Amino acid sequence: MSTVDSANLGERHSYDVVVVGAGGAGLRAAIAAHDAGARTAIVCKSLLGKAHTVMAEGGIAAAMGNLWPDDNWKVHFRDTMRGGKMLNHWRMAQLHAQEAPDRVLELEEWGALFDRTDDGLISQRDFGGHRYARLAHVGDRTGLEMIRTLQQRAVALGIDVFMECTITEILRDGDRVAGAFGYWRESGRFITFEAPSVILATGGIGKSFKVTSNSWEYTGDGHALAVRAGATLVNMEFVQFHPTGMVWPPSVRGILVTESVRGDGGVLKNSEGRRFMFDYIPEFFKAETADTIEEADRWYTDKKNNRRPPELLPRDEVARAINAEVKAGRGTPHGGIYLDIASRRDPEYIRRRLPSMYHQFKELADVDITKEPMEIGPTCHYVMGGVEVDPDTGASVVAGLYAAGEVAGGMHGANRLGGNSLSDLLVFGRRAGLNAAYYAIRTKETPVQVDDVAVRAAGNAALAPFTEEGGENPYEVQKDLQEVMHNLVGIIRTAEELEQALGEIEKLAERAEHLTVEGNRQYNPGWHLAIDLQNMLWVSECIARAALTRTESRGGHTRDDYPMTDPDWGTKNIVLREKEGAVDLVIQPLPQMPAELKALFEQ
């Protein structure tokens, strides 16, 4: 395979704003940038509409007060901070809670069809960690409806979309962004985007782990692109293992079972048939959690006078409890526990409230959730860590580089509450889009220049696997990486295992320098994986290094050798950056919350 020269640099396009990713955050950012007057393009690795946002089934968290008039942004803010174990960036949590209701109503104006209360308002359901029922929903297909609505809006506005196109490098002009370089997945031909503003909305990192709810696109592209471009990452040690992913049958392993199943009455049972979550209520949540089965069951019909079932504790608490039961030998035959709604709700209710869950598992696995419990366990679902951004604008430390959604860090702290992901996409997607457009318009007097030398270098790096003879198979390297992350950097961690993981990741990175890909650039999934692997290795090292440094247990980060939460660590963030080709780590103080917001936690 020849190297790249001036004659085969590929096609070139010029825009004000290029959005990388077409999930909820990317689409909302593109709409906002377009509305602000910027020439905008969306670049997505897969097909438009096939975004991971559709996995968020339960609802959009927004304090609209449709079912509970007492609900408001301050309660939502407090729930989000408590769920994140107070490590969230307070300003992001504040903006999110304040603006989420408007973003939901905006979706409704654009055609989203929400479920309704008896008096015609948008219906809202219960989710773990939320004091009130505040998730606006469309059955258990909320993410799908959100993508449908945003996609329709973006197409109607005439925003350019480049589908099945992978970005491999952020291009710079000095200290500022100049555009992005990538290739068409079908043909392998290169493509360069000249743009003063690039918004990363690439989602998460789940394909670095063996068992994950994430689809093939989630290889940490945005995280790695940002670091290589000079941006910083924050909170990378906090990886959320959704407590309820299917573990059996194999055809559905890792697929998510929405939290709505528990919100609508489903309970967790061990192999002895016992509801074990009552044994795992942390002191922090005891005041608001039922400690008897009788009170927990009464809550479904009388929420005002009873406390919530422990099955609706925040996700990190539930995942740890499940893990503990399995380790104690009280798990299912396939290493999970049982989630039972069949014995607690009639079939018609289940099919009406959870239509996707019912049809999906019936079709894919011949599991009838109206007749039998599901075998579930923790599955790698979401990364709280991401690009360090300014809360108000979504800007990274690199001029012209923005991030929104799962690829951005800070909003969720140590643990994300269910339902906060969709509202996060809407609130910060819009803010990143607007501010990227404003920045691009400001730079028109001093336009950015794309350096052809950098474009050639990016192209040669992408083609490197074709020039290596007798090297490593990318599928083998990915498989070994997934084993390392699953076994050594999973839901429970120790210093010894994390040090071992870093040693293994270093060896894998050396192997990944010598990947060999057969064939040509057309329709070549092995080549695509070889490129993705570089990102997965960067991100995996960031996670393991931050996890080793944080000597405490908090939220999605559990250290078996440091099982307690350390108040001193509650004032610090771990920030990662690239320095001379390696991962560099610094500890910096947590942003200070204003007194008027601190007072909310004293009530």
Which positions are catalytic? Answer: 242, 262
8 Å CB contact between 308 and 289: yes
Q: Which residues of 445-470 are buried (b: 16+ CB within 10 A; e: fewer)?
A: eeebebeeebbbebbeebbbbbeeee
Closest CA to 202 of 172, 173, 231, 174: 231
Q: Which residues of 7-21 are buried (b: 16+ CB within 10 A; e: fewer)?
A: eebbeebebbbbbbb
Burial of 539 (0-12, 13-18, 19+ CB in 10 A): buried
Instruction: Collapse the DSSP code of 123 into the 3-class scheme (helix H, G, I; strand E, B; otherwise coil) and give the result.
Output: coil
- Beta pairing partners, 171: 179
Closest CA to 179 of 472, 404, 454: 454
- Separation CA 470–CA 393 (nearest Å): 47
Provide the angle, in degrees to the nearest 10, between the axes of the packed helices 452-467 and 525-549. Answer: 100
- Separation CA 501–CA 483 (nearest Å): 10
- Separation CA 262–CA 598 (nearest Å): 31
- Separation CA 553–CA 288 (nearest Å): 22
8 Å CB contact between 195 and 40: no
Residue 5 identity: D
- Separation CA 571–CA 590 (nearest Å): 5
Cβ count within 10 A of residue 500:
16
8 Å CB contact between 411 and 92: yes
- Separation CA 225–CA 231 (nearest Å): 9
Token code pair at residue 244: 């309820």
